[in-house]
Structure 1
Amino acid sequence: MGLRSGVVLVSLGLFGLGFSQSVSVWDFKQGNYSSAIPRPFDPAGFKVGTRHITSSEVVEYMRAIDLASDRVSGGDYGRSFDNRVMPFAVVSSPENLKNLSKIIEENRKNVFEAGRVTDADLAKKPVIVWVGCGVHGNEASGVEAGLMTLYHLAADRSAETEKMLQQMVVIIAPNYNPDGRDRFANWVNSQRGALALADGQDREHSEPWPGGRTNKYWFDLNRDWFPLTQVESSRRHELVIKFRPQLVLDFHEQGGENYFFQPGVQSRVNRYTPKRNQELTFEFARYYAKDLEKVSEAYFTEQRYDDFYIGKGSTYPDVTGSVGILFEQASSRALRRETPLGELTFGNTIRNQVVTALASLEAARDMRTTLLKYQRDFFRDVPSTGAAFEIAKDEAGAKLVNLMLQHEIRVEDRGKWVVPVDQPLGRLVQAMFEVQKEFDDTVFYDISAWSLQYVTEARVKKIMLPDTQVSMKTNVVDKPVSVSVGGYVKADNPVGFILRKGASGFHGAVFDAMESGRVAYFATRAIGSAAPGDVFIAGGSQDESFFTGLARDRRVRIEAVPGQTGEIVSWGGNAVTRLPKARIALLVGEGVDSNNAGEVWWMLDRELGIPVALLDASRVSALDLSRYSAVLVTGGRYPMDAGEALATYARGGGTVVATASGAVWANGTSLGGLKSASVSADYSGMSFGQLQEARQVDLAPGAILAVDYDSTHPLMFGVDSPAAFREGASFWEVPAESGVVVGRYRSDAVLSGFVGPGVAELAGGKVAILAKRLGSGRVVLFADNPNFRGFMTAQRRIWLNSIFFGRAF
């Protein structure tokens, strides 16, 4: 059986499901399949397409097929936040699997020794294909399709498949997001009776907030391929760069009725993706079109989706020497769904994904040497620019350097850390750091900017290396770095302890000290040896053990204050503000942007080790908010009565901190009151096409803006990050009240990304952060998101100061 005829068999006979057919048991009787290989999903006791498998069942099946097949070598690359296994399987000929370490070693030479790899060397190498599925847990068909592809490769005994596996190594990672998958699968399976309904109003079709798309902390893992903030992403990434595949397949689902495969919109390809990459993608597309047409499946390409933001699973490969290809299958959401074209079944969605997966393997086999040459040339022919990015040696810089090392980007120690562009992964360096303000297309599927020169707390600047140093490899950093920022400084007869601001663990240390029952004071101006923004805690020699451990564990600097010196220091005066014990709540639930809320939950819970109570936004007016020192409002739409409940809480002494669209909402309640400003455009008389184009110009689809801050404001103590990440084109006017504007956008605000000219002009001087009193409490409004995707953290310290030190203004 030839591989192409195998595609037809899998599509029409093996699955036996057409677009308008009902769910049925799948038939494996046709084809030259070995009876020794377990079928999906014999171990689980049901047939594919009759219900949604769970993450544990994925692992169970993969272990069974690993034991049964000499073509499969299985394992796991880690565990999710909720401790679920993330499995993978390597599929190839038995001989290749025996020599897998050598194959990996030789393949990595395409990247790091590209200039020494000849065409003759490439002719001997197998092509490596990565099949990735399930990054969005409720885009269900990819997981089953990944396992079906695995079964086909392991069980098909045709000479064609055996020969293909001699020339190819396939890595199948079928379940990138096991936590999200189980949220979704458990819902649909539990809400479905013996008879599946196609009625879109049935509960099976409407999963509750936050849905299964995201991971444990509600992060979109398909935006995390380069930030690597989440454990699922970082552990997967380790496996990807170990193999350095030539082809990366990325299976998703979408709304609508049809099937999408790349190439995407050509005017929105990242500028560091070579033209040859897209030419190869078009070659693959011909295979997809032909095989989808064989099963009468409608498709589209070069529309809607793009390859611009490098944090996506089909775009990151494009700037790292692979060909990444996105697939979007119309989702059934349940086992059956009514559509204008008829009934769409879960089985049909799986079938289409397997069709394109096997078509990809066929194309990769036919283009083996072409793909290998492309990868070798990608790394061999990196344009020489002489540019580099210099990173200051501090704690934030160390974190950024360690991210570079995770990507196998070369970093050099030249007094400061230096990331040269002239290196194998130079295109990735440029895609991460470079600024872009000019665009051929002003429509974006995702954001338009993420330059690491601005969006973190690290101090980064672009430099040009002298010609004599461009090719030098000076003191290459070959292991993770750290900067000592902590430590305990003893004093005789201490009367207290100063927690120095600046370290990333500072707020966590303040929390721990207050949690231990100690009283903390925030210095609003210099007093004794404390600088503005430091925290003083009274105590004596009996407390030294505690503060020594606190300095070590939180990596902060703590200095004992000597007593009995004869010096008079008014630690109890008005130069310090007593802090309330930190009890933090976050509003979540229906209407709340789960990504935004998840960023906050993860940041506090995982990154900083500070507990946060998750409160259902729909019940705010019925809850006792007085037990919390701060209530956090992130992006989203909130109930009408929530605004007054929060205002009452603030008037009683609480602190409300609202960000992004949550701040826009809060400003429309009695919490805010700022006058809004937006671009005023005259669209009268325009044609439909002109109107669409004109509206696109008046947008800010994820850009980086410069902000001027009031350095005298207590929320700004210890902060030196002049940038904000902005989504949206609505702004706030500066109020008449003095001292409440913490930050405002600069007149020439755009640092990177697309901002329509009308929006850019409007932004100058508008409010970026407002901090005001309301009754006995405080309200802080951030026009932007200080925790976007967990890595755009330039404003994070201001946000944390708002939560902990709001009483200081």
Structure 2
Amino acid sequence: MRILYLLFTMVCFVRANTLLPPSDFLGYKLGDKFTPHHLVVDYLFHVSQNEPNVKIIEYGKTYEGRPLMLAFISSVDNMDKLEQIRKDNLTRAGIIKGSTKTKKVGIVWLSYNVHGNEANSTEAAMKTLHALADKSNINTQEWLKNTVVIIDPSVNPDGRDRYANWYRMTANRWPDADPLGREHMEPWPGGRTNHYYFDLNRDWAWQTQIESQQRIIIYNEWLPHIHVDFHEQGYNSPYFFAPAAKPLHQYITDWQRDFQKTIGLNHAKYFDRNNWLYFTKESFDLLYPSYGDTYPTYNGAIGMTYEQAGHSRGGLAIETEDGDTLTLADRLEHHYTTGLSTIEVASKNVEKMVNEFSDFFNPNRKELVDTFKSYVITRSNPTDKLNHLKSWLDKNGIEHRTSDETRSFRAFNYQNGLTDLIKVKKGDLVISSNQPKSILVHVLFEPNTFLEDTMTYDITAWSVPYVYGLQAYATKSTIKTTDSQRYFSKRDKLNSNPYAYILPWGGIDDIRFLSEIYQHNIVARVSVEPFEIKKKRFDRGTIILTRKSNENLGDQFDDIIKKAANKFNRPITSVESGFVSKGKDFGSSSMRVIRKPKIGIISGNGVSSYSFGEVWHFFERQIEFPVSVIGSDYFSGIPKHNFDVIILPSGNHSYINNELREDLRIWVRSGGKLILMDGAINAFVDKKGFGLKKFATDEEKKKKEEKDKSIKMSERLNLYKDRQRNNLSENAYGAIVRLRMDNSHPLGFGYDKEYLSLKLRNRRYAYLESGWNVGTTQDSTSIVSGFVGFKAKQNFRESLVFGVEEIGRGSVVYMVDNPLFRGFWYNGKLLFGNAVFLVGN
């Protein structure tokens, strides 16, 4: 017995002090199972504890509390100087001033599993880490002499564990390769996204999610020379690697384009040797700036996406259309191969790679000679918007300063699209292109995206002044500036025990304030007409908080309001009387009570998980307001009168039948508010009891049908090879359009008479005959930026985008465009808040 104990102890000692391959450490062969995140983390610790040239850090946590990890690996000599290598790299980019102290070292960052159900990636990450740490691997040890490798084994562990846990519960004892098997049919919402169902691969620039926010902090502390984003695609598709497809943004350098080809040729060498299929230069472009390949590219790296066949349907094994069986082991081997191949190419080209990286950050590059030198955001913009923009610029490492002069310049005017003589004033916010991150600045602020090819993978317009709804200019002149300043709203001194408090309405921080006081059961009012007190004007939408309606709170009433105002820096005013100088007094019916609503959001099959997540995140994380989430599978059976507001996010909502539609109409008539977003509208358009129609008259419908028929006749001899490009004519790929806005309606409170909307589809709806057409397009001249096909342009003629139909005592809010798209369209958040809290009161 004593001998057995001694042997057991010796085995444990050897295990703890010997680098083990993943299969030995985990107790099963890689590819036989999907490894849960906690075991992946354990393996990272194991490697770092057994190899002095491996360092791991936890750089953050997910919404569900899982650790976000990075592993750093290089030669022992480089690891001893790791911090100095990092600083020297930033010095070469101009981010840090001074001189370098170390030799040139390549930095390669490998990111795995940003999409949780593309689950082979994390398995490949562990195998790659072991190969780099293995001292007996002559090749990797040679590469690491001049290269630092950073591995993020799971960018999205919440989504990956969602998929891995589902698969573990669902799969057969032996893998079922039949594509019809249930282990290949992942249920809603799927593991692709994070906790709030956001696609983290579209969030790099916007950083709406906690995982992105934490990752970009450390990414910008390193700025790698190569970044690879590992993905999976449909299980019948061969492997994709660089070079990328067109369109490539015009500011991507010749070196970045050429070196992608160099890397791709090296991958091809290994794939050819193994007779593996692959493709390049198709499907996956480099344009939209918030991807895991483009964001690094615009930050000086060789940013690349690698796509392996498999995805959520791959499981452990699946039969492909050519009769082959694709296994998890196959999939991870391919990612393992391209990962090591990337490091090999980097190591062999360090000198050139580092030099080109340094040149990228030179703001005087020849490609930038005739570009805008300064982007100006006027001080007259709302203070909240300015400070939120500055915070976002800081997150991206973009320098900003304040104008130190008042002078006129010729500049592009974002508001009207013209080049005018404009006056820059002292105190305006200035983002100069004369900074290391000049390329990123140009890409994010350019008024119109240059498209070398319209066949792109994502939206085609994102200019930041439009995103934030800002008065802004772009000039080719240099502006004299001083250090950036924080902008403050003027806050009046508050009287003690006032008659009422007043809050102007104009942004998401006002919604946050309202949400905060609602948690204390404050009763609020909203002014539907402008008024004046002591020559101070208050516009429609102003929030009125009277002592009379909140007497039950006693002195807590003042404390609650003051604390909320301080928390969100709200410029509230106190008044001693309800008698106004101009307009309606506080007791008027124009000062409408807006009580805390009980809100339900529909989720589940038939609902877009993205759209649901955007709504859910808005309430829980952006304004911190409690909601109920209702499953679509039982929605028809619940008592609707338990809710004041029901929100249907985008989706096909196939579960909605005539009976449920009528049930909702009756609930609305009794005082409910139904908010229909994007695709959800289709379940109600041209339906009995609801006023939204595709065409205003039968004649209008007939004209459209005749025009469509005429176009089809003219296209009968179109060439087959042009079919994909011809289909583009019917689409609107994330273009920005100008809407006429009725800001006298509660849905438009806080806006000017125009609103810039992100148009994701080419749907058109007739103006409401009986209702309020709050946001509308007039014709194709409404297009401000981005690609819209010539057929799609006809749908911009007299189309409803945002509207309200009153039915009985309730309302239906139609939101054809999604104001919460990906959580980044800042100027749309007030619109959604208006729909939830102000409309219908």
TM-score (norm 2): 0.86
- What displacement does 1:199 show? 2.2
Q: Which amino acid aligns with 2:520?
A: S
Matched, 1:334 2:285: no
Could you tell me which runs of 5 or more consecutive residues in structure 1 were left unpaired when the two chains were aligned. Answer: 1-32
Superposition pairs for residues 51-450 of structure 1, below 5 Å? 51-112=33-94, 124-263=103-242, 266-331=245-310, 333-341=314-322, 342-380=324-362, 381-382=364-365, 383-384=368-369, 385-393=371-379, 394-414=383-403, 415-436=427-448, 439-450=451-462
Superposition pairs for residues 443-592 of structure 1, below 5 Å? 443-466=455-478, 469=479, 474-477=481-484, 482-485=486-489, 489-491=493-495, 493-527=497-531, 529=533, 531-539=539-547, 542=555, 543-563=557-577, 570-592=585-607
- What displacement does 1:196 show? 1.9
Corresponding residue of 1:693: 725
Classify the secondary structure of the residue corresponding to 2:646. strand
Matched, 1:648 2:666: yes
- What displacement does 1:252 show? 0.3
CA 627–143 in structure 1, closer or farther in 2 if over 3 Å, else same = same
Structure-1 separation of matches of 2:578 and 2:98:
71
Matched, 1:636 2:622: no
Corresponding residue of 1:26: none
- What displacement does 1:61 show? 0.8
Q: Which amino acid aligns with 1:537?
A: L
Deviation string, structure 1 residues 229-262 (Cα, Å, up to 9, x no partner): 1111111111211111111111000003343333
Deviation string, structure 1 residues 111-137 (Cα, Å, up to 9, x no partner): 1179998xxx79931111001101000
Deviation string, structure 1 residues 464-510 (Cα, Å, up to 9, x no partner): 424xx4xx6x3244xxx754348574236523322331242222332
Q: Which amino acid aligns with 1:507?
A: I
Deviation string, structure 1 residues 406-464 (Cα, Å, up to 9, x no partner): 22211111111111123221111111011226633222211111111212244433234
Classify the secondary structure of the residue corresponding to 1:216. coil
Aligned partner (choices 584, 608, 612) of residue 627 of structure 2: 612
- What displacement does 1:556 show? 2.1
Corresponding residue of 2:676: 658
Classify the secondary structure of the residue corresponding to 1:279. helix
Structure-1 separation of matches of 2:491 and 2:576:
17
Q: CA RMSD in A?
A: 2.6
Structure-2 separation of matches of 1:183 and 1:49:
18
Structure-2 separation of matches of 1:155 and 1:438:
46
**Larger deviation: 669-678 or 494-503?**
669-678
Structure-1 separation of matches of 2:581 and 2:736:
48
> Contact 1:138–1:333 (CA<8 Å) still a contact in 2?
no
CA 129–772 in structure 1, closer or farther in 2 if over 3 Å, else same = same
> Contact 1:397–1:459 (CA<8 Å) still a contact in 2?
no
Structure-2 separation of matches of 1:184 and 1:663:
30
CA 235–763 in structure 1, closer or farther in 2 if over 3 Å, else same = same
CA 159–263 in structure 1, closer or farther in 2 if over 3 Å, else same = closer
- Aligned residue pairs total 765
Corresponding residue of 2:747: 715
Q: Which amino acid aligns with 1:538?
A: T
What's the % identity of the aligned pairs? 27
Classify the secondary structure of the residue corresponding to 1:138. coil
Structure-2 separation of matches of 1:294 and 1:607:
52
**Larger deviation: 338-347 or 714-723?**
714-723
Q: Which amino acid aligns with 2:179?
A: G
- What displacement does 1:649 show? 2.0
> Contact 1:620–1:645 (CA<8 Å) still a contact in 2?
no
Corresponding residue of 1:23: none
CA 563–491 in structure 1, closer or farther in 2 if over 3 Å, else same = farther
Classify the secondary structure of the residue corresponding to 1:683. helix
- What displacement does 1:589 show? 0.7
CA 156–352 in structure 1, closer or farther in 2 if over 3 Å, else same = farther
Q: Which amino acid aligns with 2:565?
A: A
Q: Which amino acid aligns with 1:389?
A: Y
Could you tell me which runs of 5 or more consecutive residues in structure 2 were left unpaired when the two chains were aligned. Answer: 1-14, 404-426, 696-700
> Contact 2:131–2:140 (CA<8 Å) still a contact in 1?
no
Structure-1 separation of matches of 2:288 and 2:740:
27
> Contact 1:734–1:741 (CA<8 Å) still a contact in 2?
no
Structure-1 separation of matches of 2:685 and 2:308:
40
Corresponding residue of 1:49: 31
Classify the secondary structure of the residue corresponding to 1:732. coil
Structure-2 separation of matches of 1:386 and 1:457:
20
Structure-2 separation of matches of 1:437 and 1:234:
25
> Contact 1:264–1:307 (CA<8 Å) still a contact in 2?
no
> Contact 2:579–2:586 (CA<8 Å) still a contact in 1?
no
CA 485–621 in structure 1, closer or farther in 2 if over 3 Å, else same = farther
CA 113–592 in structure 1, closer or farther in 2 if over 3 Å, else same = closer
Structure-2 separation of matches of 1:160 and 1:109:
30
Q: Which amino acid aligns with 2:730?
A: D
Aligned partner (choices 706, 711, 719) of residue 682 of structure 1: 711
**Larger deviation: 339-348 or 666-675?**
666-675
Corresponding residue of 1:734: 767
CA 653–179 in structure 1, closer or farther in 2 if over 3 Å, else same = same
Classify the secondary structure of the residue corresponding to 1:752. strand
Classify the secondary structure of the residue corresponding to 1:618. coil
Classify the secondary structure of the residue corresponding to 1:430. helix
CA 165–263 in structure 1, closer or farther in 2 if over 3 Å, else same = closer
Structure-2 separation of matches of 1:578 and 1:39:
66
